[in-house]
Amino acid sequence: MIHTTIKKILICISLVLILVPTALFAQDDILISDILQNPARFLNKTVTISGRVDTSYPPQGTTPGYYMLVDDSLESIPVSTFTPPGPGSQITVEGVVLIEEATGQPFIQEKKIVSGSPLLLYAIIAGIVVIVLIIILVIILRRPTPARQPALATTPGLKGAPPRTEKLSEVEARSLAGRPKTEKIPGKPAQLSVLTGEKKGEDIFLVTENIIGSDKGNIRLKDRGVSGEHARINFVGGKYILTNVSLTNPTMINGKAVEGDYELKDKDEILMGTVKVKFALMK
């Protein structure tokens, strides 16, 4: 058993050492001209591009600004952001490729401006992953082999048989998770007040389980930066918990990106794409 685990860990280390550098060099080859020639290939994908800021346009109220980025291919592409850098800046930007519905032209929604070399950063991350795998390998080698325990009878309906103790299978867990809940109206009512976008001024009453997206769920927000299923807000244990579902478009709360689950507080401002809403408890 231990030797099998060691082989699996060594295979994982080899894959990391082979695949990560390959992915990094492939990413460095992406140019703005590649995106412009084949936007569908890069749609909803995160890219990292280095170049010079040609022109910069500041945001107008709650509408994000943008800047034109020019790279070595001498092509330019707009980058949407609330903090555009000044013209002439040499930057490396990481963002998601989207397509403007009105014009059909691609643009980048900025996630962050990367400081330093992205290749060096990812190489450091790959090194950390390898070190962690080696530490796990050492722990497994030092851990004593547990003695085998006799199996317990688990036959249902047999008189005197001990209760079922094994964990639920993945199929059983999904079945239980998919059952409808009887609680639909939260004990602590709350709403989302839409501050920007086509639904500006509307108040959306929250139920126990809420799915927010551009074409899925019970709360629809039409915006080029909102994913089909973007985020969830669930009422659990007397609290409203927001979870970012989208893998490409971030969810910002009070100016900071959500990582994992977040407990919403009264008057929190949530930004998805260019749509901003305010969470409010109803008294």
pLDDT 10s digits, 212-253:
999 889 999 999 999 999 999 999 999 999 999 998 999 999
Determine the pLDDT at residue 145. Answer: 59
Query: Rounded to 10 degrees, what is the CA torsion of 26, 248, 271, 257?
Result: -70
Q: Could you tell me the CA-to-CA distances from 200 to 116, 132, 196, 214, 271 in Å, in that order?
A: 39, 48, 5, 15, 13
Domains of the chain, each with CATH number or no CATH: 2-118 (2.40.50.140), 190-281 (2.60.200.20)
pLDDT of residue 160: 44
DSSP 58: -
Mean pLDDT (whole number) for 34-52: 92
Least confident interval from 32-36, 114-118, 168-172, 214-218 = 168-172
pLDDT at 264 over 70: yes
pTM: 0.37
If one compares 231 and 133, the residue with the highest pLDDT of the two is 231
Residue 77 has pLDDT above 80, yes or no: yes
Confidence band, pLDDT 50/70/90 cuts, at residue 169: very low
Contact 21, 126 (CB under 8 A): yes
Question: What is the pLDDT confidence band of residue 139, given thresholds at 50, 70 and 90?
Answer: confident
Phi, psi (rounded to 5 degrees) for 68 = -95, 125
